[in-house]
Amino acid sequence: MLKRILFFLVFFLNSYLTYADTNSSSQDMSRQLQSLKSQLNKLEIRLASSENFSNTSTSTEAKTNKPIITPKNKKKSSTQIIASTENVSSPVNYIPRYGWYSTDISLLLVGGASAGLSKPSGNSGSFNILDFNPILLFSYKDLLFLRSSVDFSLDDHGNTSVSLDYSNLNLFLNDYAVFAVGKFDSSIGYFTQNLSPAWINRMPDAPVGFDADQAAPQAEVGIHLQGAFPVLSDKRINYILFMANGNQALVNTTTSLIDHIGSDGYTNNYGNYMYGGRLGFLPIPKLEIGISASRGKIALFNLADGTTLLQNSRVYSAFGADFSYKLDDWDLRAEYIQQLISSETGSIVPQGQKWKAWYGQIAYWIPRTNWEPVLRYGKFTAPVASNDQRQWAFGLDYWFAPSVVIQASYELNKGQENSSTDDNQFLIQLAFGF
């Protein structure tokens, strides 16, 4: 019935517009009526589409002998409507079967950025702290979680360096276990995987020995099983178990020493794997004691070019222990970590070699202010003597907001004489976490 009324309205408007066009004084009215005619035409198309949809639904209902929408299945009605409109020829009301709104996918962009200056003693220094680290988080219902982090930075020549910090898919098995595959921050130790972002770390840089190519592993590519569970009613244990590709050791063929262990996460393992994990125990709230270890094999490469394979596999192990305690306005942390390559007769590097580091840190938030002074001591020892270093670091943070901070520190370093590890250093940076 409504369609017939619309038909007569459109017919009447056509007749009126024909008359109005012959009268110059009625041009404004003509334009308005023309617009109304267009809207009525569109409405007619929508009604025709709705009628087709109604006929399809009625046919479906007759075949199944079930109503499309009832009080008991209202939540499913949108899915049923999508299915019913697949065969509608008019595109006006066509809804695709799959769409972003109906897949239960959530997206969140987080990350951090930092910029600042470093000035070694006896040097004019430079604004060489510049880092942007966006992190994309995707989730599908309560089943799957994707984390992906990309790092943008500048090198000494002003060229942009881009790296994939980590990217992993996490499948929630139950309330106590998550299975994951991809690239991860290293599970050995605590600092790298939990404290390294600029706006979380209380200092502008990492403790000595915990930076890339030092004592602390940085990343791994493989699979994880991780989670947490309560014990003894009010205590908790968290865990990570992993299997990953082996790391790579870079050998100085002149000195027959391994310069460092590369642990950036490699997709070619040359047949080598690592196995390990971390166990954290929280006997009381805000106190965590952790222990971590791994064992496996790694490949040896020539330091000169980084690509020439010298030895296919070598026994490797790592160990870490960490402690953290938050007491009112005090934040106390300590950590020990090491990597070891075992001795092997007949190898290009027959002797065993070890990299180890530790640090202790105290931070105190001055009550009713935004100031937080920090004190840190650390020590790093390596097979190459010029890499050895001890450090006292004195820091002062001012927090504009919970994730916006300006950090300054002065580091007293003791290393091999006339090496960069023996230079004291002043650093200042602005860091933002979002």
Q: What confidence tens digit (pLDDT) does each residue in 324-342 have?
A: 999 999 999 999 999 999 9
Choose the weakest-confidence range: 8-17, 85-94, 143-152, 423-432: 85-94
Percentage of the chain modeled with pLDDT above 90: 70
Interval 348-369 mean pLDDT? 96
The CA-CA-CA angle for residues 286, 291, 296, to 5°, reads 150
Residue ranges with strand state E in 186-329 = 219-231, 235-245, 248-252, 257-262, 273-282, 287-302, 309-327
Band of residue 31 on the pLDDT scale cut at 50, 70, 90:
low
- Given a cut of 70, whether residue 134 has pLDDT beyond it is yes
Predicted local confidence at residue 42, as pLDDT: 53
pLDDT of residue 352 exceeding 50: yes
Angle at 116 between CA 432 and CA 394, to 5 degrees: 90
For 372, other C-beta atoms within 10 Å of its C-beta total 19
Cα–Cα distance, 156 to 383 (Å, whole number): 27
Residue 247, pLDDT score: 95
Of the two residues 406 and 18, the one the predictor is more confident about is 406
Which of 281-285's residues contact partners 24+ apart within 8 Å by CB, and which partners? Answer: 281/235, 281/236, 281/237, 282/235, 282/236, 282/237, 282/238, 283/235, 284/235
As given in the structure block, the two tokens for residue 59 are 């046919």
Stretch 150-177: mean pLDDT? 93
Instruction: Specify the higher pLDDT residue, 246 or 41.
Output: 246
- In angstroms, rounded to a whole number, what is the distance separating the alpha carbons of residues 157 and 175? 48
CA 401/CA 220 separation, integer angstroms: 33
Residue 39's pLDDT is 55
Choose the weakest-confidence range: 2-6, 240-244, 269-273: 2-6
Q: What pLDDT is attached to residue 92? A: 41
More confident residue, 143 or 30: 143
pLDDT tens digit string along 284-299? 989 999 999 999 999 9
Nearest to 263 by CA among 253, 252, 277, 274: 274
Sheet strands (E) in 105-176 = 105-120, 126-140, 144-154, 160-174
- What is residue 232's predicted lDDT score, i.e. its pLDDT? 85
What's the confidence (pLDDT) of residue 35?
55
pTM of the model: 0.74
Query: Could you tell me if 164 and 136 are in contact, meaning their C-beta atoms sit under 8 angstroms apart?
Result: no
Average pLDDT, integer, range 145-152: 95
Cα–Cα distance between 256 and 348 in angstroms, integer? 7
Write down the mean pLDDT value for the chain. 82
Instruction: State the average pLDDT over residues 215-233.
Output: 94
Scanning 22-142, the segments in alpha helix (DSSP H) are: 27-64, 77-84
Give the pLDDT score at 173.
Answer: 96
Note the pLDDT tens digit of each residue in 54-109: 444 444 433 334 333 333 333 333 333 333 333 333 344 444 444 455 568 888 99
| 8-state DSSP, 11 | H
Q: Which phi and psi angles does 288 have, rounded to 5°?
A: -130, 135
Taking residues 161-169, what's their average pLDDT? 94
Asked whether residue 15 carries a pLDDT value surpassing 90, the answer given is no
Write down the pLDDT at residue 102.
54
